[in-house]
Amino acid sequence: MDKIDLKSELKTLYRPSAKSVVEVDVPAFNFLMVDGDGNPNTSEKYKEAVEALYSVSYTIKFALKREKALDYVVMPLEGLWWADDLTSFNRDEKDNWKWTMMIMQPPEASKQMLQSAITSVQDKKGLPGLKGIRFEQFKEGRCAQTMHIGPFSAEGPTIQRVHDFISSHSALRGKHHEIYLSDIRKAAPDKWKTIIRQPME
């Protein structure tokens, strides 16, 4: 049986150093996505979205293992973050934030598999977040990124480093992007690893 680990294969995108900000070119990948808004710490919709994304991603994983003899490591949760009023985002007013939570899928996954997986999870668990899931190709292109180690509340200086790097080379564009590499239920907050990525012109 073939086994792949996209996170290892895509080291330049998913294993950046915490010591420096680097420029990367992010090609098109397929993702499961759910859109929402509000404070991720208190929003029930956010919790439902994340639960649904993981449930469907693992259902697709088991389907590919069964149907195509392909085993792989489920990719980490990622989030695009923004606000209609940028000052709200900069002031950390989370109730006004908007987000797209997403998990990358291997090239062998398809929209048809998504529909089958949603039906299977709905029959077994009846998760409310399932209705918002979509399968979409997403390409970021030119970006700057680095690794943040520590709690989410301490990301500010790391984000500023990324923005300063971009300002010295180009200009910001697109949405603030975070990739969550740690299981925050198990790891201590000062050990959490989060990739901070920002598209640039």
Of 138, 157, 189, the residue that ends a domain is: 138
**Within this chain, do residues 42 and 128 fall inside the same structural domain, yes or no?**
yes
Per-residue pLDDT of 144-178, as tens digits, reads 999 999 999 999 999 999 999 999 999 999 999 99
The answer to whether residue 5 sits within a structural domain is no
**Within this chain, do residues 98 and 120 fall inside the same structural domain, yes or no?**
yes
Confidence of residue 3 (pLDDT cuts 50, 70, 90): confident
**Within this chain, do residues 184 and 96 fall inside the same structural domain, yes or no?**
no
197, 178 Cβ separation under 8 angstroms: yes
Domain that holds residue 178: 13-27+139-201
Q: Largest Cα–Cα distance of the chain, in whole Å?
A: 52
**Within this chain, do residues 39 and 131 fall inside the same structural domain, yes or no?**
yes
Per-residue pLDDT of 59-101, as tens digits, reads 999 999 999 999 999 999 999 999 887 666 666 788 889 999 9
**Within this chain, do residues 107 and 152 fall inside the same structural domain, yes or no?**
no
Question: Using CA of residue 116, residue 120, residue 126, residue 127, what is the dihedral sign?
Answer: negative
Per-residue pLDDT of 92-134, as tens digits, reads 788 889 999 999 999 999 999 999 999 999 999 999 999 999 9
> For the whole model, what pTM was predicted?
0.94
Strand-pairing partners, residue 49, are none
**Within this chain, do residues 36 and 102 fall inside the same structural domain, yes or no?**
yes
| CATH code for the domain in which residue 74 is found | 3.20.80.10
